[in-house]
Structures are given as C-alpha cells and as structure tokens.
C-alpha cells in the first residue's frame, strides 16, 4: 500500500509566511482575533491557514495553485500586505480538493482539541472545511464562542446589535464614571523617607520620560518644607531613582515596596469594609500612597491639580459607600503561588487579584461588572440565546480593558517601579 505524503511534509512557503505572520502578530491596528480579547497563544492566522490546507493536500499539488488558493497572490492588494485580510479563494480551493483528493471541502473534518484563541478553526472554516474546535480553558471557550460560533450563527445582525449595546454602555459610563477620571493619569508609588529627621514623601518612579521623544517629568524640590512640585520639560532630566530628594538618604527598594504594598492593601481593606468614617480618615494616606503626578489629556501632558486629587478622593469614598452593593463582584480569589508571572508582586505582599488595582480602578471595574451582569440578565430575558451572544461581547470588552491594567502592573513588576499609567476608560 502506497501512502502519499502530504504537502505540509514537503513544502511550506516560509519566507512569505514569516513576513505576513510577523505583521499580523504585531501591533498594526487591523481586525484580528486578539482584538476581541487577549490570550496567551496568539497564533498568526496566516500560519494556521497555510498549515491546514497543506495538511489536507498531497505533495503533488501544484505550488502556484496552492499559493493562489491561500490568497498570497492578492496580498499586495490589502492593507499592510497581511494574508489574514485576504479571503481564501473558496472556488479554487474546492477545485484543488476535488482534483487531488476526490472530495469536497465539506467532506473533510478539521479537529482542533486545544483550539485556544481560535486561529486554526477560524481559518479552517474560511477554507470551507467542516470544523470542530474545543478547549478546556474557560477563557478560550468564550473566545471561541465569540470568534466562531456566534458570528457564523447570527451574521451581520449580531454586529449591529453589539454595536448598539456598546454605545449604550458608553453613554452610561460617561454619565456614571467620567467624574472619577477627568483625564488619564501617571501615578507614582509614594514612600516616606526612613530618615527620622526627614520623613519627606518620595515619589518612586523608574523613568521620567513621557514619550519616545519626551517630554520629561521634572521635580522641583523644596528641601526645607520636604515637598515637591512637578513640571513638564522638553529637556532630559536626570534624577536618582531610589534616593531621598530632600536629605539624600538611599532607599532600600525591597523595604520601600513592601511598605507601599502594606499601605495600599490597608486602603483597600478599609474601603471594602464599608467603613466610610475610617475611609475619610485615610484620605491623606491615599494621596501619599497613590501620588498623582501628571494628567494626560487629548492635547498634552500637564501637572495634576486639586480637581484631579478630588476625583481620586471621591472614587475612594464612593468605593467605601457602595462596598456592600459591589462586594459580590470582587475578584477575591488568591493569586496562585505557582503563578510565576505575578511572583514579583506576591513576593512583596500582593495576595488577591483585586489588590492589583488601585481604589479608583477597582471601583470602575466593579461598577462595570455590575452593569454588564444586570444588562446581560435583561438581554437574556428579552432575547434568549441571542441575548447571551450580545452579552458575551460586552463582558469580553470589560475584561479586556482591565487586563491592560494588569499587564501594566505586571510590566512594572514593582521591583523596578515606573510611573503607573491608569486608564481613561470613557472619553467625554
């Protein structure tokens, strides 16, 4: 019995594939799976399409016909020359399959038992094959629903209805949440100088450069009053990262960060307990722990003012006041000890997922989760399974927004503190 090799065993257009895959996996703003929700395995769909079709066809397949069927001959006609943006030639694929296998594409089943973010099953469907995709990870399962099942089942109507729901969410958020975020902020981790004769507030940051070409943060230090002011300057400014700017005492990084985490956790604990009076007593600690430095508007960077500090205070007090209503949405499970990604944080005392957020971020997250849960229940009552589909995209959108904050926190990694850039969730 002669078993013919598959095309994938003999030929893969590596040069062309690498070029388009590198662009697709980069940060070019084009529609792609990772726009729906981050996932650890972001397989380029160009690779999935090429390997899937080449695994079905035999080695005797004409290479030019293969490349044309994949869409490589039309790559120059789409933005950024990305294969993913070219629809496969379904007619040519059908002819190739019949020519070399005596089957129709729908007679061939592609099974992906660890489908992850969905690159392989998505491209398998685009090629016209019967496709089965499963994954044990619940996040992957929901992404597969959003990428594969619901668009195929409901089509363009789903897009239009999700768009309307997002606009409704944004309208709600502008009314309910914008007061907490008048702008986007750059926040330092505050630490009191350990020198008993100094005790000045030190804004701990890793770098003071705000953009690729600047501008820069500059601190005006008043050594007598133990205070500082922030300026924005176009010239590069040097500063000691872990040294008291008032008395020149060196700062022990580990001690400073453990102290910061302790104070950060205490602030959250008080707010989440619902003890408003105690929360009011901690407002000075709040502003000295999460030190507002710079706000970023659509026009420029500028130092924060009293209005910005009042917005942070209002968010903290509202978190305390609404703790009983928002508590059921709290991410109160522990970060697994075996989680190496967050190990630099847990080493300094961060224990629970919700502790990765500052009080204002946590308030926004909990209020958004409550909104989406309540709206999902309404949609399901009104529309049944179709309402589930719409609600899923809302939930993924909220989850994605706050994963960005987690990535910032994780990138900062506390041992090397940098300005913590908080998000401006809903522009006015």
> How confident is the model at residue 2, as a pLDDT?
61
Average pLDDT over residues 375-393: 96
pLDDT of residue 161: 96
Asked if residue 173 belongs to a domain, the reply is no
CA distance 289 to 202: 10
Residue 44 domain-assigned?
Answer: yes
Same domain, 247 and 307: yes
Residue 381 CA to residue 164 CA, distance in Å, equals 18
Residue 345 has pLDDT above 50, yes or no: yes
Count of CB atoms situated within 10 Å of the CB of 254: 12
Residue whose pair of structure tokens reads 């003890």 in the numeric block: 275
Evaluate whether residue 165 is within a structural domain: no
Tell me the CA distances in angstroms from 106 to 54, 81, 125, 129, one per residue in order. 16, 29, 10, 5
* Boundary-marking domain end, from 131, 151, 171: 151
Confidence band, pLDDT 50/70/90 cuts, at residue 25? confident
Closest among 363, 221, 204 to 288, alpha carbons compared: 204
pLDDT band at 420 (very low <50, low <70, confident <90, very high): very low
Furthest-apart CA pair in the chain: how many Å? 91
292 and 218 share one domain: yes
Q: Which helix (H) or strand (E) holds 119?
A: helix 119-127
What are the beta bridge partners of residue 217? 232
Q: Pick from 114, 135, 151: which residue ends a domain?
A: 151
**Residue where a domain stops, chosen among 108, 132, 151:** 151
pLDDT category of residue 405 using cuts at 50, 70 and 90 = low
pTM of the model: 0.84
Same domain, 214 and 78: no
The reply to whether 382 falls in a domain is yes
231 and 356 housed in the same domain: yes
Q: Does residue 272 share a domain with residue 141?
A: no
Residues 136 and 191 in one domain: no
Buried b (16+ CB within 10 A) or exposed e, 15-50: ebbebbbebbbeeeeeebbbebbbbeeebbbbbbbb
| Other beta carbons less than 10 A from residue 280's beta carbon | 13
Report the number of secondary-structure helices (H) and strands (E) in the chain. 17, 9
pLDDT of the residue at 40: 77
Helix (H) or strand (E) holding 190: strand 184-192
Same domain, yes or no, for 221 and 349? Answer: yes
Stretch 136-152: mean pLDDT, rounded? 91
Structure tokens at 233: 């300057």
The tokens of 305 are what? 């003012």
Reduce the DSSP state of residue 202 to 3 states and report it.
strand
Has residue 84 been placed in a domain?
yes
Q: What is the pLDDT, as a whole number, of residue 411?
A: 44
Residues 210 and 298 in one domain: yes
In a shared domain, residues 218 and 359: yes
Let me know if residue 174 belongs to a domain.
Answer: no
Both 343 and 252 in one domain: the answer is yes
Tokens 């600690």 correspond to 285
Rounded distance between C-alpha atoms, residue 84 and residue 46, angstroms:
6
| Chain segment 46-99, per-residue pLDDT in tens | 999 999 999 999 999 999 999 999 999 999 999 899 999 999 989 999 999 999
Q: Are residues 228 and 326 both part of a single domain?
A: yes
By CB atoms closer than 10 A (0-12, 13-18, 19+), residue 261 is buried
| Rounded Cα gap, residues 96 and 69, in angstroms | 8
Give the number of domains in the chain: 2
Which neighbouring-strand residues pair with 345?
A: none
Answer yes or no: is pLDDT of 427 > 50. Answer: no
- Token look-up 């129709």 returns 104
Look at residue 160 and tell me if it is in a domain: no
Whether residue 363 lies inside any domain: the answer is yes
Q: Does residue 132 share a domain with residue 26?
A: yes
- List the structure tokens of 206: 């890793």
Beta bridge partners of 414: none
Q: 224 lies in which domain range?
A: 179-421
Residue 174: enclosing H or E segment and its boundaries? Answer: helix 156-176
Please state, in angstroms and rounded to a whole number, the distance separating the CA atoms of residues 184 and 167. 21
């Amino acid at each position: 019995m002669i078993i013919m090799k598959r095309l994938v065993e003999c030929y893969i257009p590596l040069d062309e594939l690498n070029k388009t895959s590198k662009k697709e996996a980069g940060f070019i703003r084009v529609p792609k799976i990772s726009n729906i929700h981050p996932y650890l395995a972001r397989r380029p769909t160009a690779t999935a399409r090429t390997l899937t079709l080449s695994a079905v066809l035999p080695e005797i397949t004409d290479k030019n016909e293969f490349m044309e069927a994949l869409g490589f001959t039309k790559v120059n006609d789409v933005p950024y020359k990305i294969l993913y943006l070219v629809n496969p030639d379904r007619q040519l694929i059908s002819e190739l399959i019949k020519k070399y296998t005596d089957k129709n594409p729908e007679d061939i089943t592609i099974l992906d038992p660890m489908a992850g973010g969905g690159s392989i099953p998505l491209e398998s469907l685009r090629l016209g094959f019967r496709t089965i995709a499963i994954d044990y990870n619940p996040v992957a399962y929901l992404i597969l629903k959003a990428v594969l099942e619901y668009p195929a089942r409901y089509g363009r109507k789903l897009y239009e209805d999700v768009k309307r729901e997002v606009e409704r969410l944004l309208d709600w958020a502008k009314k309910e949440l914008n007061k907490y975020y008048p702008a986007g902020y750059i926040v330092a981790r505050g630490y009191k100088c350990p020198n008993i004769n100094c005790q000045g507030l030190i804004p701990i940051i890793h770098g003071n450069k705000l953009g690729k070409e600047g501008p820069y943060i500059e601190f005006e230090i008043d050594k007598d009053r133990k205070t500082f002011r922030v300026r924005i300057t176009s010239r590069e400014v040097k500063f000691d990262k872990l040294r008291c700017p008032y008395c020149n005492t060196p700062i022990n990084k580990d001690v400073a960060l453990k102290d910061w985490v302790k104070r950060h956790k205490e602030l959250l604990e008080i707010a989440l307990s619902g003890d408003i009076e105690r929360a009011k007593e901690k407002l000075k600690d709040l502003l000295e722990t999460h030190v507002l430095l710079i706000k970023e508007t659509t026009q420029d960077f500028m130092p924060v003012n009293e209005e910005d500090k009042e917005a942070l205070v209002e968010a903290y007090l509202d978190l305390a006041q609404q703790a009983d209503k928002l508590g059921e949405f709290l991410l109160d499970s522990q970060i697994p000890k075996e989680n190496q990604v967050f190990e630099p944080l847990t080493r300094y005392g961060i224990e629970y997922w919700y502790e990765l957020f500052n009080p204002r971020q946590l308030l926004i997250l909990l209020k958004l989760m409550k909104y989406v849960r309540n709206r999902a229940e309404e949609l399901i009552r009104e529309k049944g399974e179709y309402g589930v589909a719409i609600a899923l995209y809302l939930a993924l959108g909220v989850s994605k927004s706050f994963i960005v904050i987690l990535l910032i926190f994780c990138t900062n990694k506390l041992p090397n503190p940098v300005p913590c850039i908080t998000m401006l969730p809903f522009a006015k």
